[in-house]
Each structure stands twice: as C-alpha cells, then as structure tokens.
C-alpha cells in the first residue's frame, strides 16, 4: 500500500516496484456467459425469432476509439453498454463485435501498434455516473476482433485505459479503476509482460482508489504518467458521486516502464501541480513534440475563489461604456466609499471599464484590503471615489450541498465544472483550483495554463493534436478548443447538430483535420477540424431505460433513452424491409424514461424526462404539456431520476406517479394529489417502482430507491409497510403517519403549454443536462389533511412581497412568452431578509442572498440554476413585480414581471369520468389543461369523516380483509433480502389478484447478486425466484409475468435475458447464439393481442421476440414426441409503395416474417414429417417443407395458396408460380410425424383500421 502523503514526503521520491501481487499464469478462457438451462432447452433460444427494430437515429454513450496505425480506415469504437463496433471503411459500415461475451460494457479498447490484428478490450465503463455498468476484466483478440479470449483481472469491475507497448505487443498496461459502489482489492495499474498470461500490479494505492489514466511518452515508452482516482457512488441517482475526490487521487510518473513511481502531486510538491485534495485527472502527450504533455486536473477547490478575494458589494448591468450600478448593499465597501444606485462606473485603478464583465474581471485581480480609486458619472458629473475592498461576507444557509461538497462558486459553469479563461482571476495560488496544466519536460514540472475543467467526474479528457502542440481540445458537455496551446479556449467545437457530452476523441496523427468523436449521441467524424461533422447514425446502440407498446395491430413501440429523450417508432413497416430512422418520432426531450400509451386512445402518449418531468402529448392534435404534480410550498417532494408512473388498468384517465410520496390524478395527470405520506426510508430517497392490481381498482404497490416497499389496498387510505409486517402496529402507525384524504387538492405545477424539448444554450453547459434528485425538489401538499382554504398565496399585511408569484422574462431569444416563465415562492424574514424558492426550466431550488427594502419596495436575490447563477433585482409596485435578471456575469440580461397566481375553484369531475369501477367510461381528455381541471375524489364517503373519527392505521387493517399478523411471519421481504435494496420493478399479476412480483437491483449497495421475488398474498410473504439463477446473471432490472400464461416469466438483468416456464423454479438464458447480444435488459412490454415481447436494452436499442412457443411450453409439450404450437393470428398487411432509399449508409431494422409463423418441436429425430395448411373444408391450400431434426423449428406460411391437389409433401412436380393471397378466415395447420396427426387452428384477418 502507498503510505499517506505525510509519510510519502519522508520517503525517497521513487517507490519500489510492488511485487507481492502477481497472478499465476491462467489458461485462456472464452469469457462466455455461464450456461443457464431450465425446463426450456437452451437450443430454443436459437430457434426463436429475435429482431432488432432500432432506432439508430440517436446513439448511446461512446467510451473509446482505437485505430489501426497501418490502415486508418479500420477502427474499433467501444460503447458504454453496447459492446464494440468495428469498421474497415471509415464508418461506411460497422459490425458489432463482442456480442456474446459475459459482459457488454467496455471502458477501453487498444490496438497493438506492432501487430494491429491484436486488439485488447477492458470491460466496465469508467465514468462514475449513476447509470454506469461494470465488467469482468480484459479480453484479447488475435484476429481483429472476430474471436476473443478472456485474459484475467476478473474482479477489476471498471477499466479506464489499456496501453500496448509500441514495439513489444506482449507488454500491456491496464488501468483498473475498480468497483464504483464499494471497495475492492483488484484495482490499480497492472502490467503483463507475457501477452496477458499473468499480471503484476505495479502501482497500488488502496482498496478505494484505482487508476483512471495512463499516458506513454512518444518515442520513450518507459516514461509513463499515471493518474490514480478515488471515487465512490452511493445508492442514489444523483449527478455527482458521493465521493468525487480523496487522498488517493494523484498524478504519478515513472521513468523505468513502471518499475518505480514518483508522486507528482503532494502537499509539498514543487512540480507546479495542485497540493490540495484531487479528483479526476486526464493526460495526453503531443506526438510531434514528445516532451509536451497536458493534464486536466480536478481539485476540491474547483469553481471557488481565494479566501481573500476582493468584494465591493454592488450589482450592475452594462452601460454604453462601463457599468451602471443597480444596487448597493448596505455597509458594503461600495456603500462606505460613496457609490450609489444609477452611478456609471467608468474606471477602477486607472483602468477603463468597457462593461460589467470587465469590472468583475478587474476586481478579481485584487484582494480584500486593497484600496482602489474609481471614477463614476453621477448626474452628468464625474466624481472620484475611493474604496477599501473587503472579503465576501458569509451568507445565510449552508455552504455545502447534501453530499457535503462546497456549493458552486463564482467560476462555475454548472454540473461541477469550472469556466474557461479565468486563470488570471483566481489569485496567485490559482493552481489549487485545478484546470488545464502543461509540461514541457515530459511531466517533471508543470504550469497551469487555463482554468477550464468541465464536469470533471464525467469527462476529464484532454487531447492535443499529434502534429501541432498548439491545437488542444478539452472534452465536456461542449467541445472546447484552443489554438494557442491552451491559453484561450472557445466552446465552438460543434454546432447544435452535434450531440453534447463528449467522452472520446481520436485525432489523425497524419492529418489533424481528421477526427473521430464519441459522445452520448454516438459517433461523429470531421475532416475539416470541427467545422463540419458527420453523424454515423446507422448503428443501433441506444440506451433505453423503459419501453412501451401501442395496442394496434400495426403498432408503435416507445421508450425513453439516456440523454436522448423519448421516442416512438413502428415495429414493422409496409414500405420496406424494416423500420429506418425516419420511422421514429420524438415524444419528449431531456433524458427519457417511462412512456405510457393510453389503451383507449393510442394517440395519447405520456412521457417523462429526468426527476419527475412528466408530460403528455397527443400525436394527432399536437397538444402537449407538463403534468408534474406540485403543491402549496409547505412540504418538499423528491423524484427519482427515473420516476415511475402508470395509467390505471381500470380507467386509463387515472394517472399515478411516485416520488417520495404517491400522487394520483383522475384527469389524465392534471390536478394530481398526494395520497400518501413520505414513503422513503431516507431523506434523499424517492419512488422507483409502481404497480396497480388488475383485479381491484386503486390497490397499489410502491417501491423506493432506498429500499422502501409499500402496499395500499384502498387508493392510499391505508398504507402497509411490507418491511415492517412483524412490527408493533402502533410503531408502524407512528412511522407511516395518516395518509391524505382523497379529496385533497394540490395545484397544477404548470398549466398545459407547448413543451420546449431543446432548450437554448445560454452558458457553456446546456441546461437540459441531468438534474440531481436533490435539485428537483418541489413543494407538495402536507399529507396529513386536506389543504385548508386559508392556503391562499396572497401575502399578509405585514409581508407585502411574500407568497407565490408567476413570472415571465422577456427579451431577445424569448419569442414565446412561455419560454421565460418561472415561479417564485417568497418569504420575508427578520431584518428584511428575503428567502424562498424558484421553479423554472433552469432548475428548481432555493433563492440566495435575498434582501427587501420596505422603504422603496425594492428587492434583490440570486438563484443558482442547474447551469448558471442568475441575479434578480426589481421593485414591488401596484401588487406586481417588475425588474431585471442577469446571468453569466452580466453577459445576458432580461426584464421580468410577476403577478399573483389565480387560485381557481376546483372543477368537479363528473362521476362517469371519475368512476374507477366502470372501465368502459374513462374520463375525457381535457382539450387544454388548466389549473381549474384539478379533479375531486370519487370514492363514496371518502373524506366525509371528521378528523377525530378517522380510523387509525391499525383500525383500517383490522376492518379490512388485511389483518395484522398475530405471530411473526416467515419469509417477509426483510427476512429474504440482505438489506434494503433499490426496487427496480413491481409487476402485478394478470392471473391472480393476490400475486405481485418484485425485482431488486442491489448493485448500488455493493451487491451484484440477482434478487427477484413472488408473493401470493399481496406482499406479506415472498418466494425467491433466483435460486437457480447464477450470480453471474447480475442485478435484476426487469421482471414480468406473461399476460396469457401465469407460469411464464421474463427476467432482464445486467447481463442477459432469462425465461422460466414454471414460475421461477428454474430459468433458461434466452439470448441465443445469434439473437439478443449481451446487454443490460432494462424493461419489457407485451403487445395486448400479438405474441410480441418488446425488450428494452440499455445499449442495443429495442428488440422484439416472438414468444408464441414459450406461452404454450409445458412439461407435456416438451416431453411429447411431437408438438405443434398454437400460432398467433396472421394479419394480412397492405403493401405500401416502396419508400425512397436514403443511401447505403443507413440502419434498417427487421420486419417480422410476412404471413403466419408456425412453431413445432420434435423430441427426437422425426420420421415422415409433413406440414400443410388446410381450408375449412379440409382442402390443402399450401404445403411446407418441415425439418425432421430434433428440437424447436420455425416455419412461415406467406399466406399464398398453391394449386397443388396433393396432401403431405405433394406428388409430381411442384408448381412454383406465385399463388393468390389467402382470404380472411379460419384455417388448420396440420403436422404429421410417424403417422400421427397434430393440428392447430389459424385465424387470418385483415389489419384493423386505425
């Protein structure tokens, strides 16, 4: 282990080789998934029909690019969860490699320079974000990626970099970053000198710290730079890791190929690098100037300012020349120096000021205590003033966020990133704030050249042009470039046609104009140094979180993707061989998640973006709007990154969602109200899974990301904690609290309005980027009782500015008034301190530094949005607010006005709309939703009892069919799980009213085992479904019961797709040899009438499986000598004119087979096997040619008739002319084997009209 920094300083600068950790030589392994076979034979997976339908118009996250140095048209591009792509023609076509290994996440790919047929892959993405997957070590291919051998480091989890010695392909370096959610031993820098047969750990820090970067000096392969990185995520889906810097993070240098190391970053280092605690580091050498190397370094002081930073205490806007003062803080240096509102500040310290930004830049060159002179214009006169600059005062509220990190400082560009070109404004010790560093002696000494460091935990990638050391690129949300060696950067590496969030950049060493870029949107290529980009959108590597299916015959599939919004597309097309990108439509922006289709009106689609950003859209009329619930600003509600919501199977107008509370709307999402108390187990938790009974309306099960599991049998009147069934009733009641009455009304968050899917970039980072669970905090109605009438937001006589305000900003770029809408909740405190909160498209949170002057009714405050800090100032006049807001240091300014929101009387929902007991009478969709659409409760007698007469939690249990256990129960969920785990999915049975399924994803709790359970008593006791599932299956993401066969279950895990035909007693892995690749399976959807299972993968887009044989699979069918499976209904589709071909470089999905798909199985090799189709009168209308081999077989009748009169195989010469189309009706499929006849009925019909 490496000693602590203090001990390190007393030791010699060179650390000896750590030689006590060396793997024994291991035999090569294929690294294939573990064989999992239950009652269903494993070979069935190859007989079933998997088809990929895309889409490819939006990609998935790219992690690395490797190029054949001898043939640059051959490239390998790795993806976060979609395996490896290989092209031999500069991306005209790609093939998927690494399809059938045990894992599908790749963090690094490398080609041996001396033998480009040797390719190395390191599994497990290294970016420490919430949705990252993990791997199982390193793989090697000796044939350009056609076949692979697993070469060890099985428990390294995430691998960030691989380097192969330029002359000796047997020497390989691997940066093993290690476990993201917990400690592990196998992490650090590893070296093999025998082509991977054995490994030595040549740099070890500790069990919490791995290696995130290796760089080798061109021409001097023994000179290495290595970055260690200490990070850890917790159980929550927040943006940042729980630990994003630590004492283990450092930059190291070796001059002997890794035998010994010098730590360049330490408290008393003289290398010129930061001496404070570090985070993530990225490094790159310049090939043409090998001594030049750049490093981007994150420190614990990122975005902050020096402790002695100067402060003057004014707010201002740009004047024609200089800055116009808009506010002077009392007792500030400006106030004491005589500066007044409306003064024009012209000069400070004899330097002319062009604008307010120039003023702040100049002031940052001073420190507290400096005395400066100023010239101002006041009333046409020029005055000379003098100020003694002071330190920035402490403000109200915590200076730390919920993770304990310092809140963003004045140099923030959002998401933890630091702005560019501010290196001269952070004082003489600016290096301690991190940024971009440059060395001209191969890493011995360094100089900070720029402050830029965008969102370092997610990027930290710097690239220098191999042919020109002055061309430097820093990857971030935007693509930053410099042409002067890093002294100045601009973020114009691409326009709006290129996706944001960049993680990989390869620069052609022979032509710096040619680059390959990898980001969250896929692969882009430029041939003119970033002036134009070509998107390679013909590979389906979309990362879906959730999927949905429409109910029609010719149906759409839908889903939400990581950083790529929500989309819908045809599952098949009638104008070509399969769906193409143009067959997909955008439903919503941001990060996409749950999508729901109204079964009564399939054109009405519900969707969401991150953290509860729910909405709905009518695909025909175009009407759309937000429907996120909100309340009276008294109680805060949290939403998970992936918020669950459902439409009731009893009435599709009833919309239920789960945050830290459960919300229910009887009007398609409008007027939602809380029907629960806080259901989470921690102060940061939120809902993660939700299901409603198919038998009893309003019976719900809810799971949370912090392991809560709840059941209500009566629309939220009673809540049963399924983790506490053996707890004393009074203790449970005290924990749960009284739920809200059904009649409680909470106000609509935002009335129906057009949704802006792509928000304009105001600052360096786009504002639609991820918001943390903590950042999306909305105030909600108190759950203990209905909101009283006194909740009118109008202020009291003493507080004229307090209360709710609906505001609109106006100005250039805000053509639509709704673009500038935001909401304020203000409260006037002691000494006229102004506090409260703000909700807007820029984020949701508390306001800061607020002051109100009752003498002139002026006010000011600040708001730190997701992306940038906004400054507000204005006046309260005539019961309305008016003023100005500015951001980005005054680089943009808007006027705004604010009015009190109207508080409408809640509109009564007609009983025939609100009734849940009559599924035939769903509520009508409102044409335009407004605040007046808030619904009222519909249960008989609900909410009519006096408060004192309300039954307690225990009383409700005793008077319902649910009784408290008289003695401790066995096999409750708390007894079966090792601890509380993220509830990844809940699924209510369509066959048994008391049956519920639950899946738990434990990887966030450092637990990678699969956890899935079934309860047959509404969740009181459970049976584990994973006893026959190996640990290598990985965490469970999805669990469904088949809609027509109660014994058939589908299970999606991090590494595969599994099926059980005996309700989970055993499982068979059904990916198949050439079917579904190894990829995380996050969700399922079942078409209501067809045998199609829609599978949402997080890395290979959407796949569809024909599950007809699985639905009929049984012990009798599997053991029979022969069995003919019942076919699905055959649909006669109308062929449409061929669509125009968009070129050869395009993605084309796969249509299902045209006609009737027929499955049969033979228990052993058959004899005299025939297969034909009969009309209703017994006439043979078509004869097929079946296989007689053992196993499951699939055949297709194209619904064409033959003129042959023979039965069986026919007699004489078969006529091959095309027969006429079969007409709708009933046919018989007849299989004969060894003289035994098997038959099934086949229905053929036209597609239903839309």
Determine the Cα–Cα distance for residues 533 and 494; give it in Å rounded to an integer. Answer: 8
Q: Which CATH class is domain 5-30+60-304+414-535?
A: mainly beta
| 119 and 88 Cβ atoms separated by less than 8 Å | no
Determine the Cα–Cα distance for residues 701 and 690; give it in Å rounded to an integer. Answer: 6
Q: How many CA atoms lie within 13 A of 580 on its CB side?
A: 16
Query: What is the distance, to the nearest Å, from the Cα of residue 45 to the centroid of all Cα atoms in its chain?
Result: 30
> Which pLDDT belongs to residue 361?
87
| 746 and 629 Cβ atoms separated by less than 8 Å | yes
| Residue 738: Cβ-neighbour burial (10 angstroms; 0-12, 13-18, 19+) | middle
**Closest by Cα among 557, 620, 555, 624 to 588:** 624
Determine the Cα–Cα distance for residues 598 and 552; give it in Å rounded to an integer. Answer: 11
Determine the Cα–Cα distance for residues 1026 and 1014; give it in Å rounded to an integer. Answer: 10
Torsion angle in degrees (nearest 10) through CA of 331, 333, 337, 340: -70
CATH topology of domain 1115-1246: Immunoglobulin-like (2.60.40)
Determine the Cα–Cα distance for residues 1193 and 728; give it in Å rounded to an integer. Answer: 57
Q: Which two tokens stand for residue 1069?
A: 């892995």
Number of helices (H) and strands (E), helices first, in the chain?
10, 83
Q: With a cut of 50, list the residues of the chain below it in pLDDT.
A: 1-27, 632-634, 730-798, 903-962, 1205-1216
Sign of CA dihedral 1090, 1096, 1101, 1103: negative
Q: Specify the residue for token string 């009335």.
A: 751
> Which pLDDT belongs to residue 958?
33
Residue 224, classed as helix, strand or coil, is strand
Sequence length of the chain is: 1250
Determine the Cα–Cα distance for residues 770 and 129; give it in Å rounded to an integer. Answer: 10
> Which pLDDT belongs to residue 745?
30
Residue 726: enclosing H or E segment and its boundaries? none
What does residue 804 show for φ and ψ, rounded to 5 degrees?
A: -95, 140
Q: Do domains 310-391 and 544-750+946-1112 have the same CATH topology?
A: no
Q: What are the Cα distances from residue 271, in Å, to 67, 969, 1165?
A: 34, 64, 75
Q: Give me the residue spans of the domains in the chain.
A: 5-30+60-304+414-535, 310-391, 544-750+946-1112, 793-899, 1115-1246
Residue 458, classed as helix, strand or coil, is coil
| 736 and 784 Cβ atoms separated by less than 8 Å | no
Determine the Cα–Cα distance for residues 330 and 324; give it in Å rounded to an integer. Answer: 17
What is the DSSP-derived secondary structure letter of residue 268? T
| 102 and 155 Cβ atoms separated by less than 8 Å | no
What is the DSSP-derived secondary structure letter of residue 369? T
Sequence-separated (6 or more) residues with CB below 8 Å from residue 1211: none
Residue 1228, classed as helix, strand or coil, is strand
> Which pLDDT belongs to residue 908?
40
**Closest by Cα among 575, 570, 571 to 1139:** 575
- Predicted TM-score (pTM) of the model is 0.84
Determine the Cα–Cα distance for residues 715 and 676; give it in Å rounded to an integer. Answer: 9
Sequence-separated (6 or more) residues with CB below 8 Å from residue 699: 692, 693, 711, 712, 713, 714, 1018
Percent of the chain past pLDDT 90, that is, above it, reads 72
Query: What is the distance, to the nearest Å, from the Cα of residue 624 to the centroid of all Cα atoms in its chain?
Result: 23
| Residues linked to residue 75 through DSSP beta bridges, in sequence order | 67, 87
Pick the CATH number of 310-391 from 2.30.42.10, 2.60.40.10, 1.10.10.10, 3.40.50.720: 2.30.42.10
Radius of gyration of the chain from Cα atoms?
A: 32
| 1066 and 1059 Cβ atoms separated by less than 8 Å | no
| 1234 and 1212 Cβ atoms separated by less than 8 Å | no
Peptide bond into 55 cis (omega under 30): yes
Compute the C-alpha angle 1123/1128/1130, nearest 5°: 125
**Closest by Cα among 306, 199, 316 to 258:** 199
544-750+946-1112 domain in CATH 2.130.10.10? yes
Q: Which CATH class is domain 793-899?
A: mainly beta
> Which pLDDT belongs to residue 786?
34
Residue 932, classed as helix, strand or coil, is helix
Query: What is the distance, to the nearest Å, from the Cα of residue 1135 to the centroid of all Cα atoms in its chain?
Result: 38
Determine the Cα–Cα distance for residues 860 and 865; give it in Å rounded to an integer. Answer: 16
Determine the Cα–Cα distance for residues 48 and 45; give it in Å rounded to an integer. Answer: 6
């Amino acid at each position: 282990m490496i000693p602590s920094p203090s001990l390190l300083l007393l030791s010699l600068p060179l650390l000896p080789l750590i030689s006590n950790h060396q793997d024994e030589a291991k035999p090569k392994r294929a690294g294939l998934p573990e064989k999992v076979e239950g009652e269903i034979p494993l070979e069935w997976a190859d007989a079933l029909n998997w088809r990929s339908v895309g889409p490819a118009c939006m990609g998935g996250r790219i992690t690395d690019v490797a190029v054949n140095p001898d043939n640059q048209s051959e490239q390998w591009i790795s993806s976060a969860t979609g395996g490896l792509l290989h092209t031999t023609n500069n991306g005209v076509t790609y093939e998927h490699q690494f399809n059938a290994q045990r894992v599908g996440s790749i963090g690094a790919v490398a080609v041996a320079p001396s033998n480009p047929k040797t390719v190395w892959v390191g599994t497990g993405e290294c970016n420490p974000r919430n949705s990252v997957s993990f791997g199982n070590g390193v793989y090697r291919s000796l044939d350009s990626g056609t076949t692979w051998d697993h070469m060890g480091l099985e428990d390294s989890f995430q691998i960030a970099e691989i380097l192969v010695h330029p002359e000796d392909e047997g020497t390989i370096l691997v940066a093993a970053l290690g476990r993201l959610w917990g400690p592990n031993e196998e992490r650090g820098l590893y070296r093999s000198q025998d082509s991977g047969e054995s490994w030595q750990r040549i740099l070890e820090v500790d069990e919490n710290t791995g290696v995130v970067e290796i760089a080798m000096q061109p021409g001097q392969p023994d000179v290495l730079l290595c970055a260690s990185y200490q990070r850890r995520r917790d159980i929550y889906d927040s943006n940042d890791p729980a630990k994003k810097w630590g004492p283990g993070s450092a930059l190291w240098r070796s001059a002997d190929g890794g035998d010994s190391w010098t730590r360049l970053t330490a408290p008393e280092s003289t290398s010129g690098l930061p001496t404070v605690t570090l985070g993530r580091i990225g490094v790159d050498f310049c090939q043409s100037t090998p001594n030049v190397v750049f490093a981007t370094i994150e420190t614990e002081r990122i975005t902050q300012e020096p402790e002695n930073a100067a402060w003057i205490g004014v707010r201002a806007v740009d004047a024609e020349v200089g800055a116009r003062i808009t506010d002077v803080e009392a007792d500030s240096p400006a106030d004491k120096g005589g500066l007044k509102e409306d003064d024009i500040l012209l000069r400070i310290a004899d330097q002319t000021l062009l604008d307010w930004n120039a003023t702040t830049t100049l002031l940052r060159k001073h420190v507290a205590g400096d005395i400066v002179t100023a010239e101002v214009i006041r009333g046409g006169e020029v005055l000379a003033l003098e100020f003694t600059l002071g330190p920035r005062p402490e403000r109200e509220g915590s200076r730390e966020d919920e993770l304990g990190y310092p809140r963003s400082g004045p140099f923030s560009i959002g998401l933890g990133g630091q702005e560019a070109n501010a290196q001269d404004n952070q004082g003489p010790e600016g290096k301690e704030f991190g940024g971009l560093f440059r060395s001209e002696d191969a890493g011995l000494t360094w100089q900070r050249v720029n402050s830029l460091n965008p969102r370092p935990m997610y990027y930290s990638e710097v690239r220098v042009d191999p042919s020109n050391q002055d061309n430097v690129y820093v990857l971030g949300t935007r693509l930053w470039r410099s042409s002067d060696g890093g002294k100045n950067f601009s973020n114009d590496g691409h326009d709006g046609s290129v996706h944001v969030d960049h993680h990989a950049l390869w620069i052609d060493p022979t032509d710096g104009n040619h680059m390959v870029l990898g980001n969250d949107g896929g692969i882009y290529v430029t041939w003119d140094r970033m002036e134009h980009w070509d998107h390679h959108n013909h590979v389906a590597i979309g990362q879906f979180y959730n999927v949905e299916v429409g109910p029609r015959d010719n149906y759409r599939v839908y889903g939400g993707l990581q950083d790529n919004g929500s989309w819908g597309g045809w599952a098949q097309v009638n104008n070509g061989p399969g769906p193409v990108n143009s067959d997909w439509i955008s439903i919503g922006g941001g990060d996409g998640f749950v999508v729901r289709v109204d079964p009564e009106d399939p054109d009405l689609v519900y969707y969401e973006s991150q953290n509860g950003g729910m909405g709905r859209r009518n695909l025909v009329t175009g009407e759309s709007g937000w429907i996120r619930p909100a309340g009276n600003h008294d109680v805060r509600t949290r939403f998970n990154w992936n918020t669950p919501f459902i439409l009731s199977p009893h009435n599709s107008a009833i919309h239920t969602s789960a945050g830290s509370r459960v919300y229910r709307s009887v009007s398609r999402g409008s007027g939602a109200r809380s029907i629960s108390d806080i259901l989470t187990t921690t102060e940061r938790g939120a809902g993660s899974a939700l299901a409603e009974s198919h038998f009893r309306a309003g019976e719900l099960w809810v799971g949370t990301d912090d392991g809560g599991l709840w059941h209500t049998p009566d629309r939220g009147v009673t809540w049963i904690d399924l983790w506490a069934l053996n707890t004393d009733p009074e203790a449970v009641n005290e924990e749960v609290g009284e739920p809200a009455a059904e009649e409680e009304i909470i106000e609509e968050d935002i009335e129906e309005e057009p949704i802006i899917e792509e928000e304009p970039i105001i600052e360096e980072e786009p504002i639609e980027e991820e918001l943390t669970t903590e950042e999306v905090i909305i105030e909600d109605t108190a759950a203990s009782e209905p909101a009283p009438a006194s909740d009118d937001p109008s202020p009291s006589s003493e507080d004229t500015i307090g209360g709710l305000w609906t505001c609109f900003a106006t100005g250039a770029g805000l053509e639509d008034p709704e673009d500038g809408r935001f909401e304020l909740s203000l409260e006037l405190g002691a000494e006229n301190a102004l506090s409260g909160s703000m909700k807007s498209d820029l984020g949701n949170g508390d306001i800061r530094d607020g002051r109100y002057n009752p003498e002139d009714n002026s006010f000011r405050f600040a708001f730190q949005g997701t992306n940038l800090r906004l400054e507000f100032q204005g006046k309260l006049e005539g019961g309305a607010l008016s003023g100005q807001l500015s951001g980005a240091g005054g680089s943009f300014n808007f006027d705004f006005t604010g009015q009190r929101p109207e508080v409408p009387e809640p509109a009564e929902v007609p009983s025939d709309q609100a009734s849940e007991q009559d599924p035939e009478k769903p509520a009508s969709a409102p044409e335009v939703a407004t605040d007046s659409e808030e619904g009222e409760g519909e249960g008989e007698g609900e909410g009519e009892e006096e408060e004192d007469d309300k039954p307690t939690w225990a009383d409700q249990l005793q008077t319902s069919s649910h009784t408290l256990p008289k003695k401790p129960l066995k096999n409750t969920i708390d007894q079966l799980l090792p601890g509380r785990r993220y509830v990844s999915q809940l699924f209510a049975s369509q066959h048994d009213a008391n049956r519920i399924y639950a899946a738990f994803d434990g990887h966030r709790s450092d637990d990678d085992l699969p956890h899935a359970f079934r309860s047959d008593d509404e969740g009181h006791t459970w049976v584990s479904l994973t006893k026959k599932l190996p640990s290598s299956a990985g965490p469970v993401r999805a669990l469904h019961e088949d809609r027509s066969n109660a014994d058939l279950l589908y299970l999606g895990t991090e590494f595969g797709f599994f099926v059980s035909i005996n309700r989970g007693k055993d499982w068979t892995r059904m990916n198949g040899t050439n079917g579904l690749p190894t990829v995380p399976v996050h969700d399922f959807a079942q078409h209501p009438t067809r045998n199609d299972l829609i599978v949402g993968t997080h890395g290979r887009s959407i796949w569809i499986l024909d599950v007809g044989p699985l639905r009929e699979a049984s012990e009798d069918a599997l053991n029979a000598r022969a069995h003919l499976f019942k076919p699905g209904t055959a649909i006669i589709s109308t062929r449409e004119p061929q669509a125009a071909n968009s070129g050869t470089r395009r993605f084309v999905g796969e249509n299902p087979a045209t006609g009737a798909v027929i499955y049969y199985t033979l228990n052993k090799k058959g004899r005299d096997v025939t297969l034909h189709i009969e009309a209703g009168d017994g006439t043979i209308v078509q004869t097929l040619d079946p296989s007689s081999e053992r196993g499951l077989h699939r055949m297709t009748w194209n619904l064409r008739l033959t003129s042959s009169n023979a039965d069986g195989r026919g007699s004489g010469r078969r006529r091959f002319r095309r027969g006429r189309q079969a007409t709708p009706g009933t046919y018989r499929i007849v299989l004969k084997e060894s003289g035994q006849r098997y038959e099934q009925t086949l229905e053929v019909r036209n597609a239903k009209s839309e």
